[in-house]
Structure 1
Amino acid sequence: MPCEGPVTTHVDWSDTSTTGSSSLTPGSAGLMPAKTHRRQRLRWPAHSCPGRDRLQELPLEWAHKHGPRPWTGRAHHNLEIDLPIRFAKLHGAGNDYIAVDGHGQDRDWGALSKAMSELHFGVGSDGIVVAIPSSRAQIRMRVFNPDGSEAEMSGNGIRLFSKFVIDRRIAMPGPNGLTVETLAGIRTVVPTIKNGRMVAGRVAMGEPILEPALIPVDAAMAGNPTRVFDFPLKVGDRTIKVTCLSIGNPHAVAFPEGRVEDFPLLEVGPLVERHRMFPKRINFEIANVIDRGHVRARIFERGAGETLSSGTGSTAVAIAARLHGFTGEEVEVLVPGGMLKIRYSGTGEAFLDGPTVEVFEGVWPD
């Protein structure tokens, strides 16, 4: 039952494979602080736990044996009344999203994202992903940033979205994976399934766009080049060489000489994001090349600020490094939240591999 008034959170880990105590009390290590915002009535049982043992792949035929079924928290398609929203919070390498089943619901998802993503008075996240029907794919994903703006695509978000819909059998993968409609086009996610749940996934990220007008970049300001490579962008009192591309959403990647840990990203990031050369704003990444197989990066997301990781951001870093000749075909991008694997040959499509972890479920009052 939802708690009334201030919430005392109890987390039950009894359904996981970890050892030790099966429950935690408020104040225990790893337990989220109690929520006291009067508008909230939350029930936050833990649904899955990080630290699972080694992943084991199961064939996609598993999905066909079990078949789709409605999630118990799903709104009935014929209802037009607003109901409390069941959600799940998930993360991939620290990039966290709130997932919601939007079937049969007509809401201001941008406003909901602003409210739920807020750290102190909401759930806290890097945005929300919403599952709705698609006539072009098995399911459609909409992505909203913490500022309420809608994003074209999220590499981590689409993996977490896929876990959300597959684990609840809202949509199930076909023989070649789960097809997901996004504003950036249709993407395919190949899940890794363990014990009936998705624990990781590979995303076909599409082919990078380098033409300035399609990123989009104001080509006239950049000197009308065919590609924006190492362009000296003036921001504040410094000049940063950026390489721009789109992987479904726009990115500017820089390879500074100093350590990324020492770079003033919180100061420079907003200036790059909103620079007038980028008509739809832009995501900004800084990266150090460690060797031909490893890159360390920090990411400032459009509409979200600095995040612990980003799937499209890490992919953009890997593509830019590959096009500069810094790395090989496969690269591990090390971000503050963990590691993501990218494969890009230098032409054609890029592929992203990463984990999917569900942190908890909850109910958000309308």
Structure 2
Amino acid sequence: MKFTKMHGAGNDYIFVNGFEYDLDWKHISQIVSDRHKGIGADGLIVASPPSNDSDLKMRMFNADGSEGEMCGNGIRCLVSFARDEGLVSCDLQVVKVETMAGNLDVFPILKNSQMIGARVSMGPPILIPQEVPVRIDSDNPTIDYSLRVDGYDLSLGFVSMGNPHAVAFIDDDVDSFPLALIGPQVENHIIFPNKINFEIVNVLSRKELKVRVWERGSGITMACGTGACAVAVAAHMKGIMSGEVNLKLPGGDLTVRWDGVGEVELEGPIETVYKGFFH
């Protein structure tokens, strides 16, 4: 199987041409994502033929084999991969990508005719708890739900960007927070019927946030595009920021724009690590 390994702000995936291969992708994702016995990645993304009028379909699988609705970093890399593979025209100024979270527009950013990043129209955030989904007794957007986990009192905001997120703004440095301990307990908490992604956030200024991520199905990752969007939305709702914000993640910086209504826009880099064959 021919593959390309790419990353967006350190969030790394194995990319495969689904026009050429039709395999058990859930099983393949578990194998190739293993950082000791496989290639090593946060998951697998398959470029597939669209089922609607989009240019391309994205299927995204986490390291544990579960299929995810969307990946903000992965979708940028996917478009670059598709351009390189000849699956979409390099003349397209916007590439329409079908995902389980809906059809999204990706705007390639070029330098010397090479794609170095992209802007993505991520769609509007979903804020009603039952639609995120979260099992709590509220019909209103929630940004300060109290949850005690292993001795830690968390104040959570709930946002879906096509996939569910719980966001906690904390005073202690996110680098010292025991994310490997608390992350899986939040992910699998009974109030999250589909499990959940978990972000912890430090406010550095009204224009800059520091973030770490526990991704559902993958664990600690270097970055998360949908998570960055969820954090920006939660920050806006809390009155911390408005307009554009820079998010500093362990793997690099992402920029999110949201004016409180309409679609969220994510911008970030892409990079090819290497190409190869997996037997």
Report the TM range for the smaller structure's normalisation: over 0.9
Bigger Cα displacement from structure 2, 353-362 vs 105-114: 105-114
- Picking from 83, 106, 112, the partner of 2:22 is 106
Q: 2: CA distance between counterparts of 1:86 and 1:195? A: 27
CA deviations on 1:101-129 (whole Å, 9 max, x unpaired) are 01143311010000000001100001011
Q: Pick from 40, 61, 70 the counterpart of residue 153 of structure 1.
A: 70
Structure 2 distance, partners of 1:118, 1:99, is 15
Other structure's SS at 2:202 match: strand
Counterpart CA distance in 2 for 1:112 and 1:269 is: 25
Percent identical: 45
Alignment match, 1:57: none
Distance 1:145 1:295 in 2: 26
Counterpart for residue 192 of structure 1: 109
Q: 2:130 aligns with which of 199, 213, 217?
A: 213
1:274 alignment partner in structure 2: 188
Q: Which runs of 5+ in 2 are unaligned?
A: none
**Residue identity matched to 1:330:** E
Partner residue in 2 for 1:310: 224
Q: Distance in 2 between matches of 1:330 and 1:172?
A: 30
- Higher mean C-alpha deviation, range 171-180 or range 257-266: 171-180
Task: Check the 8 A contact 1:173/1:179 in 2, yes or no.
Answer: no
> Does the residue aligned with 2:192 lie in a helix, a strand or coil?
coil
Map of 2:97 onto structure 1: 180
Say whether residues 1:326 and 2:240 are aligned partners.
yes
Matched, 1:285 2:215: no
Runs of 4+ off more than 6 Å: none
Output the amino acid matched with 1:87.
F
Distance in 2 between the 1:168 and 1:101 partners? 8
**1: CA distance, partners of 2:50 / 2:91:** 15
Q: RMSD value over aligned CA atoms?
A: 1.2
Secondary structure (helix, strand or coil) at the match of 2:199 reads: strand
**Structure-2 residue corresponding to 1:129:** 45
Aligned with 2:9 (options 76, 93, 100) = 93
Check whether the contact 2:143–2:237 (CA below 8 A) recurs between aligned residues. Answer: no
**Alpha-carbon distance in structure 2 between the residues aligned to 1:363 and 1:175:** 29
Among candidates 169, 187, 203, match of residue 86 of structure 2: 169
The aligned amino acid for 1:111 is H
Is contact 1:210–1:245 with CA below 8 Å preserved after alignment? Answer: yes
CA contact (8 A) 2:222 2:250 kept: yes
- Which whole-Å CA distance do the structure 1 matches of 2:138 and 2:242 have between them? 29
**Could you tell me whether the CA contact under 8 Å between 2:93 and 2:108 is conserved in 1?**
no
Say which of 338, 347, 352 aligns to 2:252: 338
Pick from 228, 238, 244: which aligns with 2:158?
244
Paired positions, count:
278
Q: Taking structure 1 as reference, are residues 359 and 203 closer, same or farther at Cα in structure 2, changes over 3 Å only?
A: same
**TM-score when scaled to structure 1?**
0.74
Identify unmatched segments of 5+ residues in structure 1.
1-84
Larger gyration radius, structure 1 or structure 2 = 1
Structure 1 pair 173/185, CA: closer, same or farther in 2 (3 Å)? farther
Query: Aligned with 2:122: secondary structure?
Result: strand
- The 8 Å contact of residues 33 and 39 in structure 2, kept in 1 or not, is answered as yes
Shift in alpha-carbon separation, 1:264–1:198, aligned structure 2, 3 A: same
